[in-house]
Structure 1
Amino acid sequence: MNMKKIVLIGIGVLVVGGVLVNMGSDEKKETPAKKEETTSTVVKNKESEAPAVTDAGDLGDYHVAIKEFTFAKDYSGADVGVVEYEFTNNSDTNAMFLTSITTKAFQNGAALQLAIMAEEGYVDSMTEIQPGATLNLKVPYKLSDLSAPVSVEATKLFSNKEKLSKEFILQ
């Protein structure tokens, strides 16, 4: 096994570990699916506020936008959905997307696993950026179905107070 594959597998293990740590939340909120090509919602834990519709917003000291969805193949040729995110560091210290934000993708009600890609450009989540900087990155997920919608969620790491979400209708 060459060094590049070992590094990519190690990165994948770290990302999956971060996702699993945040999956233990007791909070259960559901947002109804809408019959639009793309839908999005933000949920806050304040009973007096109605959720606003958005696929971009501030999650703690970071601004995140769930942008686009494209199809690709992973290192073994399996079908992958690639979600593009925009991450802006509004804190006073350097930050990485991987250690600041948790993302999850769902299809048919089940969480999708992160995919390991052979091409470059999919490890941007470990890029450290300075305060005020913005990073566009791609996160690949293994698809279970090529036609069922994919719902994506983003929260601040270890917090479910604010959640961005977006649904991609596959065609």
Structure 2
Amino acid sequence: MKKNKKVLIGLMVAGVSVMAVACGDSSSTTDTKKETKEKAPTEQVKKNEAKIPTDNGDLGKYHVAIQDFTLAQDYNGADVGIVQYEFINNSDKNAMFMIATQAKVFQNGITLESAVMTEDGYNDQSTDIQPGATIVVKVPYKLQDTSTPVSVEVKQSFGIGKDVLKKEFTLQ
């Protein structure tokens, strides 16, 4: 019984010691935080300068280029815009454009829906490519009109990474 009391008292002393250290003088921590805060604006400016929007670049382990935009019509005769992307798989596993990236196309500030085409060559976005391979992907989108500019944004899927590729196409 006495042995248990000694162990219990020892644990309590150790716990109090840990709490005392944790609640101790925080002036050195505060100074460190102040130094970090003072450095942050400079680092932020450098990050903003380096992040100029571009239409091609690396998104994680993939390289994507927003290449071209053409007008067409879908199976119903509705106006469609076809965005052409180049997708390079620099990872060590097979990858698909539609899984590895998140491509969005906007017109008048609103996301355009994917269109269905009857011709071949518009389902390459779901083609698996091996590491080191390159594929040109053409994705059709339903247009609101054929005169307003269309903007394209591509980023890595699943919210990984903060890089966004952008390109705007004038339709007339």
TM beyond 0.5: yes
**Moved beyond 2 Å, runs of 4+:** none
Deviations 1:118-167 (A, max 9, x none): 11110001111110000001000000011000000000001261100000
User: How many Å separate the matches in 1 of 2:127 and 2:65?
Assistant: 17
Deviations 1:66-120 (A, max 9, x none): 0000001011110000000000000001111111011000001111010010111
Q: Where do 1:1-171 residues align within 5 Å?
A: 47=44, 48-49=46-47, 50=49, 51-159=51-159, 161-171=162-172
- CA-atom RMSD in angstroms: 1.2
Q: TM-score, normalised by structure 1?
A: 0.71
- Report which stretch shifted further, 66-75 or 47-56: 47-56
Decide which structure has the larger Cα Rg and report it.
Answer: 2
Q: TM-score, normalised by structure 2?
A: 0.71
In proportion to residue count, which structure has more strand?
1
- Preserved contact between residue 53 and residue 164 of structure 2 (Cα < 8 Å): no
In proportion to residue count, which structure has more helix?
2
| Amino acid aligned to 2:86 | E
User: How many Å separate the matches in 2 of 1:73 and 1:118?
Assistant: 10
User: How many Å separate the matches in 1 of 2:139 and 2:89?
Assistant: 18
For structure 1, the residue ranges without an aligned partner over 5 or more in a row are 1-45
% identical equivalent positions: 58
User: How many Å separate the matches in 1 of 2:134 and 2:157?
Assistant: 18
